[in-house]
Amino acid sequence: MRRSIRYALSTVFGQGVMTLVVIAGGSSLSVLAAIPFIYGVTTELMLDNLGKIQQTMCGDSRKIGMIGGGISAGSTTALLQQSVAVGIVDFGLFSFGIVLVIADPVMVVDSGSQ
């Protein structure tokens, strides 16, 4: 996928998530401002490393995925009770961490081959 298309999709997705949070009940401006950045960067990394992420989801990492999903669900639920925006930021940061860990070996291999 072309880089410009990835960036455009990432921007639209990040703004879309922020819009939904504002409609659902916003929080402080600083928390709302973080949402498009977190989701935009996460989406761009996912689109850039889609093949690697698909391989990981089908592999032997199901136990780790279940543990991570449980931790994410618990923390997101707890933070959503405090604020919708804070809960969404929490889930976005959790997703960003997952994508970054999956994409990191790919980026190291790609940069070494050039």
Residue range 89-103, pLDDT digits in tens: 888 888 887 777 777
Residue range 24-56, pLDDT digits in tens: 776 677 778 888 888 888 888 888 877 777 776
Quote the pLDDT of residue 60. Answer: 58
Q: Which has the closest alpha carbon to 43: 77, 16, 6?
A: 6
- Tell the residue number behind the tokens 């970054």, with chain if given: 100
Q: Which value, to the nearest 10 degrees, does the dihedral of the CA atoms of residues 59, 65, 67, 69 take?
A: -160
pTM score, whole prediction: 0.66
